[in-house]
Amino acid sequence: MSINPRFSRLVAAVLWPVVLVQARRVRQVIPHLPDAARPWTGEIEGRDPFRILVLGDSTAAGVGSDTQDNALPGNLARALAADLKRGVSWRAVGENGATSEALVRRYLDEATAEKYDLVFVTVGANDAIQLRSRGAFRRNFRTILQRLRSVNPSALILVSSLPGFSQFTALPNPLRWALHLHARSLEAVARAVARSETGVVMSPPAPEYTEGFFASDRFHPSPQGYRDWVDFALSDAKLLRNS
């Protein structure tokens, strides 16, 4: 049976008694992994350093990796340095568990304190987990993009697709299915907003995760998962040619 993702919150409400019990159980059994060790900055030496910012939730915080060098920003920096034949400086800003609202309230000032050539935004997973409304997510997401654009007028803003929750085997059904449906709903909102903003590109929907993608909690990416993610996010060579 196919259900329109727009009705994802209604579906979750119908399933709420079961989903709530499963969600509590999942929180008890899934290991709590720490953030990547600081510092959350780094540099690859080379000419005309390309400046990148990773802004977002637990994946910006490097959960699943010991260091940010082996998480999203470090892998992104190495890929860009290799493709652009330039030096790269990088910074990560965000928080494990951050929703779009939390990024607006607590991290946008820090994220817009400096200028960047590329900003990688990873947000929406926790909005899906917390069943935030499409309208609230739309407002926050648009604010994030517009604030970033206001201080980075020529930067590429690359937005990650939301997680493919249907592949999260650590989650039981119907919880997994309900989260997948709501993530699809919010991703549709994000894509519409991204299309309306200049210089914003959103990754295609999450591909099939490879063996070794997940960390020990079976929820966050491992260092290999972060490498795979960067390869997928930068798979369209036009992104680099236009940078």
- Kindly report the average pLDDT of the chain as a whole number: 92
pLDDT at 75 over 90: yes
Of 236 and 87, more confident: 87
**Domain count for the chain:** 1
Structure tokens at 71: 């998480």
For residue 123, the Cα-to-chain-centroid distance in whole angstroms is 5
The predicted model gives 47-71 an average pLDDT of 97
pLDDT at 240 over 70: no
Q: What is the pLDDT of residue 18?
A: 81
Split at pLDDT 50, 70, 90, the class of 20 is confident
Rg, C-alpha atoms of the chain? 17
CATH code, 221:
3.40.50.1110
Of 242 and 27, more confident: 27
Positive/negative CA dihedral, 163, 166, 167, 171: positive
Split at pLDDT 50, 70, 90, the class of 237 is very low
Eight-class DSSP state of 94: E
Give the C-alpha separation, 131 to 9, whole Å.
7
At 178, the amino acid letter reads A
The predicted model gives 205-214 an average pLDDT of 93
Give the C-alpha separation, 15 to 25, whole Å.
16
Split at pLDDT 50, 70, 90, the class of 89 is very high
pTM to 2 decimal places: 0.92
Give the C-alpha separation, 79 to 75, whole Å.
6
What are the backbone angles phi and psi of residue 16, rounded to the nearest 5°?
Answer: -55, -45
* 113 Cβ neighbours under 8 A, 6+ residues apart: none
Of 11 and 189, more confident: 189
What domain range is 30 assigned to?
Answer: 5-241
Query: Tokens 């699809």 identify what position?
Result: 184
Q: What is the pLDDT of residue 5?
A: 66
Split at pLDDT 50, 70, 90, the class of 64 is very high
Give the C-alpha separation, 179 to 60, whole Å.
21
Q: Are 8 and 133 in contact (CB under 8 A)?
A: no
Quick one: which of 118, 54, 111 has its CA closest to 83? 118
Q: What is the pLDDT of residue 4?
A: 66
